[in-house]
């Protein structure tokens, strides 16, 4: 990825990419299988570039090994994520799959149908400056965004899912893990580029 900056802000991003070969994909799937025993939580970030061609199989392997699986989705066909624990779309990604909702109640109904059809434990929708909403069976928990000056949103979604996965791996309850992930995303957007959020910043 080549990020073109101007006056300390990202203007455009230019991607140079080549789809991975079948041999590379097979090798990475073998690496994934070998790494499962040492993992507490599996995070799969789908960028739609071909690296997660075997994501359905990876989810099945991880769930069979008793691991929670978090997915950052891409595209409008989420059937390949069926059986994951949690999916973390942003508002636009969700709209591309469930359509445009007319109200919060309508959104909750659409999310509920999607969550059940994909056999998910939960679905966490990130809403930018409006925070995020966690949908579980019969319940929606909205967490408002921390009031901060947004400097650069690059990597904010990755920060959220990484913080969420880390907290769940540490044994934190889902609702509290979501609040911490929300805080981590809020800290990240105050920094330039795909920056790191430290433990001190998060809990200090």
Which residues are annotated as catalytic? Answer: 158
Structure-block tokens of residue 12: 């455009």
Could you write out the DSSP letters of every residue in 95-150? HHHH---SSHHHHHHHHHHHHHHTT-SEEEEE-GGG-EEEEETTEEEEEPPP----
Q: Which residues pair with 90 in a beta bridge?
A: 126
Q: Residue 125 in contact with residue 132, Cβ under 8 Å? A: yes
What lies within 8 Å, CB to CB, of 84 at 6+ separation is 44, 59, 63, 69, 70, 71, 118, 120
Q: Residue 166 in contact with residue 147, Cβ under 8 Å? A: no
* Alpha carbon distance 61, 49 (integer Å): 21
CB atoms under 10 Å from CB of 57, counted, come to: 13
Structure-block tokens of residue 115: 């969550």
């Amino acid at each position: 990825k080549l990020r073109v900056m101007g006056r300390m802000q990202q203007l455009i991003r230019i991607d140079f990419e080549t789809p991975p070969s079948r041999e590379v994909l097979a090798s990475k799937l073998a690496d994934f299988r070998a790494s499962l025993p040492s993992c507490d939580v599996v995070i799969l970030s789908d960028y739609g570039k071909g690296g997660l061609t075997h994501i359905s199989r990876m989810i099945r392997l991880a769930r069979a090994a008793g691991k929670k699986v978090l997915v950052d989705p891409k595209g409008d066909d989420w059937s390949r994520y069926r059986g994951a624990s949690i999916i973390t779309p942003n508002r636009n990604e969700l709209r591309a799959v469930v359509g445009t909702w007319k109200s919060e109640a309508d959104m909750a109904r659409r999310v509920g149908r999607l969550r059940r059809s994909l056999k998910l434990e939960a679905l966490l929708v990130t809403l930018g400056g409006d925070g995020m909403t966690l949908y579980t069976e019969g319940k929606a928990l909205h967490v408002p965004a921390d009031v901060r000056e947004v400097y650069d949103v690059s990597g904010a979604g990755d920060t959220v899912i990484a913080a969420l996965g880390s907290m769940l791996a540490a044994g934190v309850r889902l609702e509290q893990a979501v609040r911490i992930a929300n805080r981590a995303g809020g800290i990240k957007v105050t920094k330039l580029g795909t920056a790191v959020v430290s433990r001190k910043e998060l809990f200090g």
